């Protein structure tokens, strides 16, 4: 199946009361793991890369991996730019063939966030590529992503104004989640999701979900989240698999041996989160 965009997938999720899992991939084995998990559970799936990931190996490498996986799959697969940090990077991803673009101007002023987001929307929509943006600040630090200072929560009225001014297709909102590894159980402002949902009609996105209890994620979805992002825990799962092989067989020199175990751990993790999102059996 050819790569698809997030537009209809997220609208279907919104109408059906579930979410589509979005998983950050770092190499070929992670791509294989995510698509295999989606195939096993007959679920649509989103694979995504951050600016630091594409700095490591370029947009074209990751796009080629995901495009190949999608063409061999029978479920819908999206290639998404996560936390695009500039208009220029968003345009590079668009030209490369990414089928969903996030522009993250959340560290800018409200007005500047609107301006850069609107520019990306105007560039992507003629090609029917949907755009995600962020309002508020998801905390923590992962790669080059940092939560920044100021009020971390998304204001519902600002969200309404932002969506109307930009024409985006989905909105990542800040409710208390964070990137990276949590030091304790995150305290999420669930009611804020409901308040935003009342004034914003487009699909909402949950970032910083690795480490958030599954029941809390389900409640976020019940209140209106349609796309749920996972990154850190995929890295942990992959490293767990590699470390297991090398600790049991320290003389292993064939990368395929330990990479295969890393791939297996990621696949099992992704399957568990697809079930949390409620997208099992939703592929079509």
Judge whether residue 178 has pLDDT over 70: yes
Residue 82: active-site member: yes
147 confidence band (pLDDT: 50, 70, 90): very low
- pLDDT tens digits along 214-242: 999 999 999 999 999 999 999 999 999 99
Contact 125, 131 (CB under 8 A): yes
What local confidence, expressed as pLDDT, does residue 137 receive?
A: 66
Lowest mean pLDDT among 8-22, 68-82, 131-145, 217-231: 131-145
- pLDDT tens digits along 86-118: 999 999 999 999 999 999 999 899 999 999 999
**What separation in angstroms does the CA of 276 have from each of 21, 60, 145, 203, 243?**
9, 31, 25, 18, 27
DSSP state letter for 126: G
140 confidence band (pLDDT: 50, 70, 90): very low
Decide if 258 is inside a domain: no
What local confidence, expressed as pLDDT, does residue 278 receive?
A: 98
Decide if 237 is inside a domain: no
**Bigger pLDDT: 137 vs 145:** 137
Decide if 100 is inside a domain: yes
The CATH code of the domain that includes 203 is: 3.20.20.70
Separation between Cα atoms, residue 7 and residue 51, nearest integer Å? 22
**What separation in angstroms does the CA of 32 have from each of 36, 260, 283?**
6, 10, 18
Q: What is the 3-state secondary structure (H, E, C) of 39-103?
A: HHHCCCEEEEECHHHHHHHHHHHHHHHHHHHHHCCCCCEEEEEEEECCHHHHHHHHHHCCCEEEE
Decide if 1 is inside a domain: no
Segments forming the whole domain that contains residue 185: 6-232+266-277
The residues, any chain, with a CB within 8 Å of residue 275's CB and separated by 6 or more, are 41
Contact 202, 168 (CB under 8 A): yes
Decide if 60 is inside a domain: yes
**Residue of 82, 104, 155, 233 marked catalytic:** 82
Quick one: average pLDDT of 152-173? 96
Q: What is the mean pLDDT of the chain?
A: 93
Decide if 218 is inside a domain: yes
Decide if 90 is inside a domain: yes
């Amino acid at each position: 199946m050819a790569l698809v965009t997030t537009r209809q997938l997220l609208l279907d999720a919104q109408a059906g009361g579930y979410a589509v899992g979005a998983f950050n991939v770092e190499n070929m084995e992670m791509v294989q793991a995510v698509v295999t998990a989606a195939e096993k559970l007959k679920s649509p799936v989103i694979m995504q890369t951050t600016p630091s990931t594409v700095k490591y190996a370029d947009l074209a490498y990751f796009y080629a991996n995901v495009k190949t996986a999608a063409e061999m799959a029978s479920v819908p697969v999206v290639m998404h730019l996560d936390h695009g940090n500039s208009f220029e990077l968003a345009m590079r991803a668009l030209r490369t063939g990414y089928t969903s673009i996030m522009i993250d101007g959340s560290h800018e002023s409200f007005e500047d966030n609107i301006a850069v987001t609107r520019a990306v929307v105007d560039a992507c929509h003629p090609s029917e590529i949907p755009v995600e943006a962020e309002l508020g600040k998801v905390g923590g630090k992962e790669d080059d992503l940092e939560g920044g200072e100021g009020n971390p929560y998304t204001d519902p009225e600002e969200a309404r104004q932002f969506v109307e001014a930009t024409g985006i297709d989905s909105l990542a909102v800040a409710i208390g989640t964070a990137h990276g590894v949590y030091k304790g159980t995150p305290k999420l402002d669930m009611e804020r999701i409901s308040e935003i949902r009342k004034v914003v009609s487009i699909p909402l996105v949950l970032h910083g979900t690795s480490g958030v209890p599954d029941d809390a994620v389900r409640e976020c979805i019940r209140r209106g989240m349609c796309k749920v992002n996972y990154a850190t825990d995929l890295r942990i799962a992959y490293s767990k698999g590699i470390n297991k092989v090398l600790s049991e067989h320290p003389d292993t020199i064939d990368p395929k041996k330990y990479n295969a175990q890393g791939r297996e751990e990621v696949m099992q993790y992704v399957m568990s989160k697809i079930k949390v999102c409620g997208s099992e059996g939703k592929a079509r």
